[in-house]
Amino acid sequence: MKEYERVEEISAFASGEATINTALNEIANFWSHDALFTVLSYRDSKDRFIIGDVEDTIAQLEDNQMSIQTMMGSKYVAEIRARVEEWEKHLGYISDVIDEWLTFQRQWMYLENIFNSDDIQKQLPQEAKLFQTVDKFWKDHMKFYKNNPKIMNVTNNMALLSKF
C-alpha cells in the first residue's frame, strides 16, 4: 500500500469516527438536557400527578436506538465503541422504565378509583392498606418528577425499574 493510500484510509476512518461521535453527542445532549416528561395533574388534584403524552418521546427514543444500532454496525466505531454501547444500554433502560412506568400508572389509576371508595376501604381493609402504601409511593414519586421532569433524572435512578 502506498503512503498516500494509507493517509487516505486513516483520514476516512477519522472522518467516519467523527461523524459517529457528532451524532452520538447530539443523542446524548438531547437526553441529558432536552428530554422532559410531561407531568399533569390527575383529576385537577394538587398532590396527584400522572405522566402525560409520551408518544413523541417514544418516537425519539426509537429513532435514537436505531441510530445507535447503525453506529454499532459501522466499521468506524472501534475507537468509541464503549461510549456507543453505554448509550445503547442507557436508551434501553429509558425504554424499559417508560414501559413499566406507564403500566404502573394504568394500574394505579384503576385501583385509585376503587380504593377511594369508603365502602371498599371498609370491606377490604388489608387491601386498602396495601394500596395506601402504593399510593404514597406514587404520589411522592410523581411529585418529585413534577418538579424534576428531565427524563435523565428519572432514568439515572437505577432502582426505579425494580420499584415499578
Integer-rounded Cα Rg, in Å, for the chain is 22
Query: Between these two residues, 154 and 58, which has the higher pLDDT value?
Result: 58
- Rounded CA-CA distance 18/30 in Å is 18
- Rounded CA-CA distance 54/101 in Å is 11
In 112-161, the DSSP E strands lie at none
Number of domain units in the chain = 1
**Over the stretch 103-122, which tens digit does the pLDDT of each residue have?**
999 999 999 989 988 898 89
Q: What is residue 159's predicted lDDT score, i.e. its pLDDT?
A: 72
Q: Which three cell numbers stand for residue 73?
A: 454496525
Range of the domain at 50: 3-163
CA–CA–CA angle 129, 130, 131 (5° rounding): 90
CB 57 within 8 A of CB 35: yes
AA letter at 6: R
Query: Between these two residues, 47 and 161, which has the higher pLDDT value?
Result: 47
Residue 125 belongs to domain with CATH number: 1.20.140.100
Q: What is residue 158's predicted lDDT score, i.e. its pLDDT?
A: 66
Q: Which pLDDT band holds residue 95 (cuts at 50, 70, 90)?
A: very high
- Rounded CA-CA distance 44/8 in Å is 63
